[in-house]
Structure 1
Amino acid sequence: MTEQAALTGTAAPGAPRRAHSPAVSAARARRWGAFYYAEQVLRVMKGYGWTIVMYGVGQPVAYLFAMGVGLATLVDTRGAAGFGGVSYLAFIAPALLISAAVMAAANEFTFPVMDGFKWRRVYYGPHASPLTPEQIAAGQIIAVTVRFLLQSAIYFAVVALFGASPSGWGWLSVPVATLAGLSFGLPLMAYAASIKNDKGQFAMVMRFIVMPLFLFSGTFFPLETLPLGVRWVGWISPIWHGTELGRMATYGYQEPPAVTAVHLLFLVALAVAGWILTKRQFAKRMGS
């Protein structure tokens, strides 16, 4: 085997296949370690794939049917003027899609991170290899991002079947939901990586952060119809910013371009800040 083949891990045609040398394996891990760890996380997720589908898709679909089909029969009788000229079903569908991604982020970036550092300490095995803490964190994020994309795509297909996405650009709500999930999840991941002992912090996050964001982010009614005392929750909520973008995609909701830019910048800024904090916290926690 030539020196180039040894470094790349390829062999000449017809040559017997052999295990990579430690040097080649280490070089590959340093280059592709994040994807290797993402593969491991995805294989673990596969073991409870039906749970992910039922929670990530089944629950919001139940909301969609109850609110969009049940309650909508009452709401739509008063006219669609209050919902951008569309049916109530079309109005809430993108909000539920975004909310599903954010709630999935609240699950994937809390207890699994705690598990990696404290309970089963699954991060430390890969860290004993050439994988860096940043690669381990990135691998988990890549795997969860794949979950967001698949979950959101399936849910959007259901939305389309309900006729709740009249625009041809509705598919853009899938990457928007993924971005919203990351913008909420990455700062939460950094926080989870800083926790040494579980004292109910994640339950508090679900009750006093996730649930208020879900209720007061213009999910079921336009944000401007809410009292000023709770309207500010929507302004700082990834769910609201993502929902506004999702409504633009699914049924052509109109708003000034500058406001659209603010929505995108807000979500991207949260995700980037969360990634920076996560990298630092993982490196600090693993001692490198």
Structure 2
Amino acid sequence: MSWQEVLVPLEKLRISPYNVRQRIDEGAVKSLMDNIAKRGLINPLIAYPAPDGAYEIVCGRLRFLAIRRLKMEMPEKFNELFSRGIPVRAREMSPREAALLSLSENVRQNTMTKAEIGAAVTRLREEFGMELDEIMSEVQLKADEIRRALEVYRAVLGTMETLQIPVARPGRPKTGEARRAISTTGMGRIHSTARRLAEKGYGREREIVEKLKKVSMDSGLSTREIQLLTKKVEKRPEVLKSEEELRKLVAELRAEEMVERVVLLRRDVISKLEWLAKSRKKTFDELLNELLGRAIDEELKRLGVVVIGA
């Protein structure tokens, strides 16, 4: 779909969840508001249409906040400039495209900290399965720039954990309300599955993402369970036509009686398991269960132990 120039009411605009900019300086918002009041909006916002008729902003978060503040503090000037709507360049785009475009624009304008860039790069890798070389090419960042950004981001995460500030981590057990949150690894699996199914003609990527996200959150699925669910959905994509069928698939998954445990593994063991899983086109958990099951069966056989019901 080609770009379209549209005028959108302010109340129909919102920040896209794929907008990577996190830090906003209120002083900068005020300064830009004053500039817009004097000169108007020079560059339109970049957004995509949402299913509910709104537009989600990929590039232009600061401009959006400045315009919103202008409406509150200078309503007459706002009406003079934007009585017909806010100028927006819009087109359909996938979540991956939106995240890449947002990062590229903010890197070009030098508006992000290294920690923010590191967080965005980590998200592209975990949610969308992108390799570093691919990100460097798409965003026009050098290898040492990405390396330094990731180092700063990891340092920030470490500080947050030291101060006991909650940080979402994939693979850890969740309890109560927090269990319904989806880790970045889980979202990455959902997005990659949705992209592959959309390419095969089973629906729009964004709609598939929303369906899988909703059933995962409603069912309180762990990261491992999401990985198993998406694999089953790729084998049986027809379940996407009905929410009931999708929930039945979740029930089937849970009937397999998989139990989640937190274990500590040596770094070299994890590296070997990841390599084997990738080479055999299996998930980390599938390969680990396969190898452990085989090794345990062999050890029990050697000991002459028979497990009833096994």
Shorter-chain TM-score category?
Answer: under 0.3
**What's the TM-score, normalizing by structure 2?**
0.24
Which structure: larger Rg? 2
**What's the TM-score, normalizing by structure 1?**
0.26
More strand by share: 2
Greater RCO structure (CA 8 Å; 6+ sep): 1
More helix by share: 1
